Structure 1
Amino acid sequence: MVHDDAYHWPPELMDLLIDLVPRLNRSKEGVLGFFRGVGVSEDLLAPHRHQLAADKSAVSKYKIARSVLTRVNEQGDAGLGVRREILKRAIEFEDFSTLWPDDRLPTQGLQAGVRRLVNVKDSFTRMSQALDAEKAARLKARTSELERLARRKARFEALRDRLTNLFGEADPRKRGSALEGVLNDLFATEGISIRESFTLRSEEGHPVEQIDGALEVDGSQYLVEIKWWGEPVEINAMSRHLVRVYSRAEVRALFISASGFTKAALEESTRALNQRVIVLGELRELVLLLEQQGDVANWLREKVRLAQLERRPLTLLGSDF
């Protein structure tokens, strides 16, 4: 049973109710009592009471039922509660012994028909509700995803602006420290677990190691070194970082330079691949990532793959990545 307006009875249900309600009541007064009991207003019932008082034989139970049910069905939202109660009373009626003998079997058949139509309508209602709920869930998820992407875009644009401003910083120390902050925030924005720069000290409190940072991707730990020099990173700086990595079991190396690497530093990193995963990156790659709002974790994964399979610690990943 398909009906456009869920708040009204369709014709086939109306026909069944017009036959059923009079049979559920032995008298015309009983029909009016039935309607009063389900909440039909006295304004609708009064004309029928007057008619019965004036000439009881001039109206039948079925005529009363048809008139009242039609008026209730035309009330729209206002009559929803009454219509529900009429259906409830009609479906839940059980004591058929109180009916006229000739009405008992027909009444049971009519009741079964009403129950069947109501069950079908309920099935459509539940299906519609399920579809509406699914649609609402998809809309909520889509809205949530759009909001997440908007927040991510805003963070990337802010990081890009911070990084761009660093190119005007003349003090190398301030520039390097600020770059660490930008990259730390970039990794954190992508949900990468990161530990910012820290210093290891001896029992006497003297500095032993200065670590620019450490991060974790896919369960692997990386010691991070960041350099913004005027010249390419040379072998001594690379070797110091590799020594820190070697002193820690299973730890990988990530070295990011704003000015590239010397040939000797690249060769030393390539030899180190025999023992550890060594990944080199250039600042321009991260600038491009920020411009394209790329996935920094995937950037690192691809560089690790190339380092392991092709023994290339440095592969510049451009716009095709």
Structure 2
Amino acid sequence: MHRDWLPLPVLAPVDPRCELAFEHLLRLFQQRRSGTTLAGMKVYSAVILNALVDALRTIYWFQNDLRSFLTRAGVPADVLGALPWGPGTYKRIIAQRLVDQLAGEPAVGMPILNGIIDSVVEMDEDMPHLVRLDDGKKKADDARRAVRALKDLLGRETIAERADRARREARTEAERSRVARIQRQRDLKALNDRFLALSMIPDDAASKRRRGFQFQELLRDLFALHDMDPRGSMARPGEQIDGSIVFDGSFLVVEAKWEAKPIEPKDVRDFQGKVQTKLDNTLGLFVSMSGFTDYAVEEAARSGRIYAVLMDGSDLAQVFQGLVDLTELLRRKLRHAAEYGRAMYHVGDD
């Protein structure tokens, strides 16, 4: 007989208990895949968590921007404070440590992870904050790929549920960004009002001294608004500096003057001398409302190396009016100094 005609074996009846066990395992698998255990707690596979790390690594280029995003996503300040922010630490390491910590403490960490994932999947895929950077198209493309990979792993139904929940709770990244933008505009307007008030102070000796102190306070508040961790004036024998900030992982010593005339070469030379006594990666930011003479600008590069970049009243006016972002302006100044060897840069010079 041809083997195709062999009779099929008779199967024994399936034990109902086996059917129940199989259905139970199937439900567990489906619930695990969708991110829910029988206890109702959200869990995620290692693949999804790795995709989240990759998304966090790419959606923002600078650590300060990533930290602000995580704050808006609901990550507690003490959790963020425990992460290794700063120069020499890659964003992937920061993101990996955050995700591992939250996943390792499900009772506390899973709600926070849910908020982070909600914020990531709700991001504007145009990534305008990345596009405006150098090589921005590639940075934005990398971020889009990472976010889409996370979305694919979560599944379309999950994405829709998250979007609906985020909208109901007004927790979409767009909404958070809108609220943060409005608050930032209000804060910047308040600083601009103070800036304009300072410009009305007369030039007599007593008033000028008071204006100088108020100008330093105004700059500290401006730096704080941009998350630059400003510190106040510091003094040591024979030396006085107005403060310092942390910018893109580097320390900048700050000198601020509001004089009647432009700054002369001697002031620039003296300030650069102070900067040279600090750590090797320390740079200087000299802020002068009255600007700098041409000779003073040349003095900043006379030694063959620029230790400080210069900022004048026109720069500050644009910042306070919201015409240019302070963070972006400083990045352009530093890049211009690195590429062209000039300490002064104004918007439009490139």
Give me the TM-score of the superposition, normalised by structure 1.
0.55
1:217 is aligned with what amino acid?
F
Where does residue 259 of structure 1 map in the other structure? 290
Q: Per-residue deviation at 1:255?
A: 0.7
State the partner residue of 1:213.
243
Is 1:191 matched up with 2:221? no
Distance 1:220 1:305 in 2: 14
| Structure 2 residue runs without a partner (length 5+) | 1-15, 18-22, 24-29, 35-154
Deviation at 1:253, TM superposition (A): 1.4
- Equivalent residue in structure 2 for 1:295, among 315, 325, 338: 325
Distance in structure 1 (CA, Å) of the matches to 2:342 and 2:311: 11
The answer to whether the Cα contact below 8 Å between 2:306 and 2:341 also exists between their aligned partners in 1 is: no
2:264 partner letter = E
Q: Which runs of 5+ in 1 are unaligned?
A: 1-93, 96-111, 113-118, 202-207
Q: Give the whole-Å Cα distance in 2 for the aligned partners of 1:231 and 1:129.
A: 63
Q: Is contact 2:306–2:337 with CA below 8 Å preserved after alignment? A: no
Change in Cα spacing, 1:262 to 1:129, as seen in structure 2 (3 Å) is closer
Seen in structure 2, the aligned counterparts of structure 1 residues 132 and 174 have a Cα distance that, compared at 3 Å, is same
Cα–Cα, structure 1 residues 145 and 261, in superposed 2: closer, same or farther, change >3 Å? Answer: same
Structure 1's 312 and 197: CA in aligned 2 closer, same or farther, altered over 3 A? same
Return closer, same or farther for 1:132/1:276 CA change in 2, 3 Å cut-off.
Answer: same
Q: How many residues align?
A: 196
* Secondary structure in structure 2 of the residue aligned to 1:152: helix
Give the partner amino acid of 1:285. Answer: D
**1:316 alignment partner, SS class:** coil
Aligned to 1:12: none
* CA shift in 2, pair 1:276/1:312, >3 Å: closer
2:112 matched residue in structure 1: none
Deviations 1:133-180 (A, max 9, x none): 233336513222211111111100000001010011121111111111
Deviation at 1:239, TM superposition (A): 1.7
* Shift, 1:238, TM fit: 1.5
* Residue pair 2:306, 2:342 contacting (<8 A) in 1 also: no
> Where does residue 212 of structure 2 map in the other structure?
176
CA deviations 1:80-131 (Å, max 9, x no partner) are: xxxxxxxxxxxxxx69xxxxxxxxxxxxxxxx9xxxxxx9xxx9xx975651
Q: Percent identity?
A: 30
Aligned partner letter, 1:142: A
Separation of aligned partners in 2, 1:191 and 1:310: 28
Residue type of the alignment partner of 1:136: R
Report the equivalent of 1:224.
254
**Greater per-residue helix proportion:** 1
Query: Partner of 2:231: helix, strand, or coil?
Result: strand
Q: CA separation in 1, counterparts of 2:192 and 2:179?
A: 20
Q: How far, CA to CA, are the matches of 2:345 and 2:159 in structure 1?
A: 51
Helix, strand or coil for the counterpart of 1:259? coil
User: What amino acid sits opposite 2:273 in the alignment?
Assistant: V
Equivalent pair of 1:242/1:253 in contact (CA under 8 Å): yes
CA distance in 2, matches of 1:245, 1:177: 21
Shift of 1:263: 2.6
Closer, same or farther in 2 for the Cα pair 1:315/1:130, shift >3 Å? closer
Pairing 1:167–2:199 present: yes
2:217 and 2:185 map into 1 onto residues whose CA distance is 18
Q: 2:164 aligned with 1:135, yes or no?
A: yes
- Cα shift at 1:187: 1.0
Alignment pair present for 1:246 and 2:282: no
Separation in 2, partners of 1:282, 1:199: 24
1:137-152 correspondence runs (5 A): 137=166, 139-140=170-171, 141-152=173-184
8 Å contact 2:285–2:311 — kept in the other structure? yes
Divergent runs of 4+, >3 A: 126-130
| One-letter amino acid of the structure 1 residue matched with residue 175 of structure 2 | T
The RMSD of aligned alpha carbons is 2.9
Q: Structure 2 length normalisation: TM-score?
A: 0.51
Distance 2:265 2:187 in 1: 35
1:100 aligned partner: none
8 Å Cα contact 1:156/1:293 also seen in 2:
no
CA-CA distance at 1:132 after TM superposition: 2.5
